Every structure is written in structure tokens, then in C-alpha cells.
């Protein structure tokens, strides 16, 4: 039986690549413009070539001439999980993220050139209903080229063995005549308690802890005022309302807004999936990212675990900010593995 091969565009630190490899797929190359991604990607996916390039400027024939990738290969999978800040529902500057708007169409030229058996896309749900989305044009091109067998849906990662509420748009398309479906849901969703805490090897640490080992159980420092805020925040799901009446701790921007932005400065719940792990999960002021019990934000290894990265996955940087970017932008490997298994099952 011929083995499936894949090229992972916008591969980042390798979450999708790692998961596909776990499913038995040979990922021949990963492409990303971010130089911070290379060391981490290569360390965890040593048999895959990392190409530090702008997808829009990379010649279509590169993989054919350099890696022997053939056109019209029924067992070739092209993966395009393009950066999605422009379509994100999270409040952010759309001016800064305009460059990410059309990346899906830049990925298209490789589909057009290689005519692979399969195309995979993962993105934020906002790509479906944003008025300026390029998705309809991408789908039109797919169907015109013969990829009429398409399954697409907004899914939640918690339904696939990832201990996190993370809604994503997922698409599998093929030009082949075969049954397609998204992965089956797991029976029981994982909660924070199932993967974090001392019983899972996460020793108690303070804010600002520096872990110099490859485990990277490091946390960001907190100001004295934020430490006081967390000390007053109820364990296991407490919010900033716990200190809203303390004039020294209350933030002026939240006065009179007791029903808004309650996740900010909040603690995670032990017995619920984590909130969406973003690139700022190390910061308690950017969401419900405080530890359920300890007075600190999440560590890098905790964030990676909530994204379903295995405990031996290396993040080759000493920067918490850089590591969090690679983790928060990643496709959870557990979900990627299930997608790969769907393709390989027939």
C-alpha cells in the first residue's frame, strides 16, 4: 500500500505535522515564514524538511525539483492552516493582521500545481462569516478543479481529546471517490484536572519561576498588585469580581462593568476544559489564564499540555513569549492525528 505524504504549509512549531506523523503520514516538508518556528519544528520532526519561506514567494515547483514530490499523486496531502488573526473574533487590530487575510489563496497555487489527492484546512470560525473572507473563492476554486468531495464544519477541540474549549473551522477535501467525514467525537471530554496538577507531574511553583530544563515549566512574573488580586480571587474558577470593591485593586476600565470581560484575570476551573489557549496564555490579564489554585498564570508546559502537545515536545527558545506564540498558534496534535487517521482509514 502506498504511504500518504504531506506538505504542511504555515506549519509553525509543528503541531499539525506531529499529529499527522503520529497517524502514520510521511510529512516531507513544513513551510513557515517565522524564523522562531524552525528550531522547535526541526527538534520535534527531525525527518521533515523545514523551509523558512514566504508561501506567496515560494515557487510552486520547489517541492517537485527539491524533494521529488509528484503531481497528480492520490496519496499526497497539502495542508494549509494559514495564520488567522484577521478573521479572529478576539478583539485585535485588523490593520496589523491584513497580511493574513489572503494567505489561503496564496496556498491555492500549490493545490493547482500538484493536484494532490487531499487538501486540509484549519482556521478560526470567523473565516466563515467575515464579510471580507476569501473562503468562498477558495471553495469555488476547489470545486472547479474537481474537489467536489468536501466535508467542512466548525468543530470544538474538546470533542476530540483536547482538554480545551477551542472552536475551529476544519475542512477536508478530495478529488477521489471515497467516503469522507470528520473524526468521531470522543466519549468523555478531558478537563483541566485530567492533565494538570501535581498528580500529573506539575509541581507547585510561584509566578516568575524559571525552569531551565527542557520541560519549560516556567511562568511569567507578576506585579505585587496582580499577586494581591490573585490572592483574593477564589480558587477554581474565581473572577475579578472577587476584588471589584477593593479601591486599591479594582481597575478603572472595569468599573461598572461587572457583567463584561469576566474571563480577564479569572482562574480556570479544575473540572471543565480550559478556555482557548491563545498566544497570550501566559498573561492573566488576557483571559481566564490564572491557575485554578496557585497564585500565578499558566506555565509554558501547562499551556502546551492543554494544547495536547506530549510532555517530551521541545520548545527551543528561552523566551516565554516566543514559546507561547508557537503553542497558541498551533493545531492541537491530538486533533491533527485524528484528521490523519480519517484520511488513512481507507
What are the pLDDT digits (tens) for 222-261? 999 999 999 999 999 999 999 999 999 999 999 988 888 8
∠ Cα 64 69 70 (to 5°): 95
For the entire predicted model, the pTM comes to 0.94
Active site residue 11: no
- Report the pLDDT value the prediction gives residue 94, as an integer from 0 to 100: 44
Q: How far apart are CA 149 and CA 60, in angstroms?
A: 24
| Catalytic entry in 11, 81, 84, 316 | 84
Q: Would you say residue 95 has pLDDT above 60?
A: no
- Report the pLDDT value the prediction gives residue 32, as an integer from 0 to 100: 97
Q: Are 175 and 149 in contact (CB under 8 A)?
A: yes
Q: Are 332 and 307 in contact (CB under 8 A)?
A: yes
Query: Alpha carbon 305 to chain centroid distance?
Result: 12
- Report the pLDDT value the prediction gives residue 91, as an integer from 0 to 100: 53
What are the pLDDT digits (tens) for 171-227? 999 999 999 999 999 999 999 999 999 999 999 999 999 999 999 999 999 999 999
Q: Would you say residue 1 has pLDDT above 90?
A: no
Domains contained in the chain, CATH given = 5-187+332-344 (3.40.50.150)
Q: Would you say residue 129 has pLDDT above 90?
A: no
Q: State the pLDDT confidence band at 97, using cuts at 50, 70 and 90.
A: very low
Higher-confidence position of 50 and 87: 50
- Report the pLDDT value the prediction gives residue 100, as an integer from 0 to 100: 56
Q: State the pLDDT confidence band at 98, using cuts at 50, 70 and 90.
A: low
- The least confident of 33-47, 61-75, 117-131, 136-150 is 117-131
Q: Would you say residue 62 has pLDDT above 60?
A: yes
Q: Would you say residue 96 has pLDDT above 80?
A: no
Q: Are 4 and 75 in contact (CB under 8 A)?
A: yes
Helix (H), strand (E) counts: the chain? 10, 7
Mean pLDDT, the chain, whole residue set? 94
Q: How far apart are CA 342 and CA 346, in angstroms?
A: 8
Q: Are 171 and 119 in contact (CB under 8 A)?
A: yes
∠ Cα 300 83 332 (to 5°): 45
Rg (CA), the chain: 21
Among residues 181, 168, 56, the alpha carbon closest in space to that of 122 is found at 168
Amino acid at each position: 500500500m502506498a504511504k500518504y505524504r504531506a506538505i504542511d504549509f504555515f506549519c509553525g512549531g509543528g503541531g499539525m505535522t506531529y499529529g499527522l506523523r503520529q497517524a502514520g503520514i510521511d510529512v516531507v516538508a513544513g513551510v513557515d515564514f517565522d524564523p522562531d518556528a524552525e528550531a522547535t519544528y526541526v527538534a520535534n520532526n527531525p525527518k521533515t524538511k523545514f523551509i523558512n519561506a514566504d508561501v506567496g514567494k515560494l515557487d510552486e515547483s520547489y517541492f517537485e525539483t527539491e524533494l521529488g514530490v509528484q503531481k497528480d499523486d492520490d496519496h499526497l496531502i497539502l495542508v494549509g492552516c494559514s495564520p488567522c488573526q484577521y478573521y479572529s473574533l478576539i478583539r485585535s487590530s485588523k490593520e496589523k493582521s491584513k497580511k493574513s487575510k489572503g494567505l489561503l489563496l496564496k496556498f491555492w497555487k500549490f493545490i493547482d500545481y500538484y493536484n494532490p489527492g487531499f487538501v486540509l484546512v484549519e482556521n478560526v470560525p470567523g473565516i466563515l462569516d467575515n464579510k471580507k473572507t476569501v473562503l468562498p473563492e477558495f471553495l469555488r476554486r476547489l470545486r472547479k478543479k474537481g474537489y467536489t468531495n468536501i466535508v467542512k464544519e466548525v468543530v470544538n477541540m474538546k470533542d476530540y481529546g483536547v482538554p480545551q474549549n477551542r472552536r475551529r473551522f476544519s475542512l477536508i477535501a478530495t478529488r477521489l471517490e471515497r467516503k469522507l467525514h470528520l473524526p468521531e467525537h470522543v466519549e468523555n471530554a478531558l478537563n483541566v484536572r485530567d492533565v494538570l496538577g501535581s498528580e500529573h507531574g506539575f509541581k507547585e511553583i510561584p509566578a516568575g519561576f524559571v525552569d531551565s530544563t527542557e520541560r519549560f515549566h516556567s511562568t511569567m512574573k507578576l506585579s505585587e498588585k496582580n499577586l494581591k488580586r490573585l490572592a483574593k480571587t477564589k480558587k477554581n474558577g474565581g473572577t475579578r469580581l472577587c476584588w471589584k470593591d477593593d479601591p486599591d485593586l479594582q481597575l478603572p476600565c472595569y468599573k461598572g462593568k461587572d457583567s463584561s470581560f469576566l474571563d480577564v484575570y479569572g482562574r480556570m476551573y479544575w473540572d471543565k476544559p480550559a478556555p482557548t489557549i491563545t498566544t497570550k496564555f501566559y498573561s492573566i490579564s488576557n483571559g481566564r489564564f490564572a491557575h485554578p489554585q496557585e497564585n500565578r498564570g499558566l506555565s509554558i508546559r501547562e499551556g502546551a499540555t492543554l494544547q495536547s502537545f506530549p510532555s517530551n515536545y521541545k520548545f527551543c527558545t528561552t523566551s516565554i513569549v516566543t514559546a507561547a506564540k508557537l503553542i497558541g498558534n498551533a493545531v492541537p496534535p491530538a486533533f491533527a492525528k485524528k484528521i490523519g487517521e480519517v484520511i488513512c482509514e481507507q
